[in-house]
Amino acid sequence: MNPRLPAEWEIQDGVLMAWPHEGTDWAYMLEDVRPVFVDIIRHITRFERVLLTAPHAASAAEYLDKAGIDLNRVTIAEIPNNDTWARDFGPITVIYNNKPTLMDFGFNGWGLKFPAYYDNLISKRLKQQGLLQPNLNTIGLIMEGGSIESDGLGTILTTADCLLSPNRNPQLDKSEIEQALASLVGAKRVLWLNYGGLAGDDTDSHIDTLARICPDNTIVYQACENPLDEHFEPLKLMEGELKSFFAPDGSSYRLVPLPFPMARFDEQAHRLPATYANFLIINGAVLVPTYRDDENDSTALACIAKVFPGREIIGIDCLPLLEQHGSLHCVTMQLPQGVLA
């Protein structure tokens, strides 16, 4: 039987996260960013568990406890981490013979851009500590969770910029990447985006910043309607590609555009990669990043509410996360049913 990569909206045991500490790139702004992590944890634990890695479990627990987090809903694993982007170093769960199996792909800091010597070992160490139930298969392929989207039925949506990056798997061409996705995560077909991308993005155009597969043959995507914005042309070209795709049943996808957030810049005037597509689907809710941009924030929440009518839509202020070029989905990795020990 072929493996199957579940859709994010399927039932979950919990969500993996990593704590921002003095040894991460957040060191200079911990007071700003830790409340964002607390807010995400607070809302996830209303619906499911959080598995949190931290180099000093006791200090992380103390901080969360003071913030009013129910520690009965959080498991803190004392494991060192380089950074906090759990989406990309966390295990990717596939269903094989009706049981979950964990795929531990290689993580090399988004194509050798940043240190990842601790993060690449986190899945293995979680398994060694008895916190993950299924078998863990270590795979000799570099791939991040943020680089692929699944409908749970064999469709994988991805970007050529990321999966064909020469600093990830230079030994493999496009057809060989497709073969690897077929054998490892059960891809029956791969939909490639050749356009798109956000200024300030370090990931080589992760799909979870651009377009997301949702229930009922729907794709929610980051649009840009301002012809004067640098994103206008690449996102229009991406929109055209999305319109050319067909769902597994042969119908066109229902496409739902998201508003483009107000431009944000760091202290060196470099643009930051704000996107509403970086939302997290959990049991009973969708957590949506917001950026203190009232009009666009509220429009984005309303768009996503239409796509997930049975779930609570929760906006979380993620403006501080942009300072390290990521957002809400990037700091989380869902753990499907049967994964947590």
Residues 6+ apart with CB under 8 A from 314: 43, 285, 286, 287, 288
Burial (0-12, 13-18, 19+ Cβ within 10 Å), 173? exposed
**Can you tell me the mean pLDDT for 224-230?**
97
The tens digit of pLDDT for each residue in 81-120 reads: 999 999 999 999 999 999 999 999 999 999 999 999 999 9
Q: What percent of the chain stands above pLDDT 90?
A: 99
- Please pick, among 162, 303, 318, 330, the residue that the annotation labels catalytic: 330
**Which pLDDT score is estimated for 151?**
98
In this predicted structure, the answer to whether residue 154 has a pLDDT above a threshold of 90 is yes
In this predicted structure, the answer to whether residue 2 has a pLDDT above a threshold of 90 is no
**Which pLDDT score is estimated for 27?**
96
Q: For 39, phi and psi rounded to 5 degrees?
A: -65, -45
In this predicted structure, the answer to whether residue 1 has a pLDDT above a threshold of 90 is no
Q: Is 303 tagged catalytic?
A: no
Q: What percent of the chain stands above pLDDT 70?
A: 100
Tell me what the pLDDT averaged over the chain comes to.
Answer: 97
Place 20 in a pLDDT band, splitting at 50, 70 and 90.
very high
The tens digit of pLDDT for each residue in 273-302 reads: 999 999 999 999 999 999 999 999 999 999
In terms of phi and psi (left: phi > 0; alpha: psi -120 to 50; beta: otherwise), the region of 110 is left
**Which pLDDT score is estimated for 136?**
97
Match domain 12-336 to its CATH number in 3.40.640.10, 3.75.10.10, 3.40.50.970, 3.30.930.10: 3.75.10.10
In this predicted structure, the answer to whether residue 156 has a pLDDT above a threshold of 90 is yes
Whole-structure pTM value: 0.98
In this predicted structure, the answer to whether residue 224 has a pLDDT above a threshold of 80 is yes
